[in-house]
Amino acid sequence: MDLTVTTLVFIADSALDVLPIVAFLFAFQWFVIGDRMPNGGQIIVGFLFVVVGLGLFLEGLEESLFPLGRLMAEQLTHPEFLLDSAEHALAEFTWADFYWVYIFAATVGFATAMAEPSLIAVAMKANTVSGGAISVVGLRIAVATGAGIGVALGCLRVITGVPLPYFIAVGYFAVIVQTIMAPKEIVPLAYDSGGVTTSTVTVPLVAALGLGLADAVPGRSPLVDGFGLIALTAMFPIISVLAYGHLAALRNRVSKSNGSGKNSGEQ
């Protein structure tokens, strides 16, 4: 019964969130465009699906992904898991003892990024616009690799207590250097890749993992240390996609040089 009530509450809240968007779109169509909304009934039905879907999605986050992230963080940082002994205090461990946390974080970051619908859509569009030069699978793997590295480094930051601005400053310095050197065609796509990575699938689980980890490690504040993983998850795909562009350009130069060498040899 409680589950039904909370689900209905989430759906009602989603309706209130979506209502201003619907009102603005219809008002803009009527007063600015000066015409009725085409297929208005179909659009309203679609918005109803959006409202119900958002409500169910938010309820699913509360019931599954958020508890799962906290549970995994608690289990992976428990002293009995780390050293098979409850005699050691968690504060006595070094950052290297939490290697399973980093492995789990990198795997979760990679898997959730690969499953992001927005990333799949962007990769397909990039493949179409580039005439097949940008591989759908290659771009998804590049973005997911960066996301996995970002989540793992975010967990390292939580465990060590290193301030977030240090990671952000170093990371975006690397982004600036890569942007200057990377092929210009890949730069906008790389920056957009950071945004599409942190969407409906990745954000809930990564946020829950960071908050649970900050709550489980002594001396860490969930408010100060628990947040920030999403920022790193969005930043490192930019780095990985720019690197993907560098490698693609290098491969093209090598293939062209080999082709010209064969032609000169034949002559």
| Range 251-256 average pLDDT | 76
Return left, alpha or beta for 84; rule: phi > 0 is left, psi -120 to 50 is alpha, else beta. Answer: left
| CA-based torsion, 7, 12, 16, 19: positive or negative | positive
Sign of the torsion angle spanned by Cα atoms 54, 57, 63, 68: negative
Classify burial at 225, counting beta carbons within 10 Å of its beta carbon; exposed 0-12, middle 13-18, buried 19 or more. buried
- 154-172 per-position pLDDT tens digit: 999 999 989 999 999 999 9
Quick one: tokens of 74? 């608690």
Place 19 in a pLDDT band, splitting at 50, 70 and 90: confident
Confidence of residue 151 (pLDDT cuts 50, 70, 90): very high
The answer, as to whether pTM is greater than 0.95, is no
Average pLDDT over residues 130-141: 87
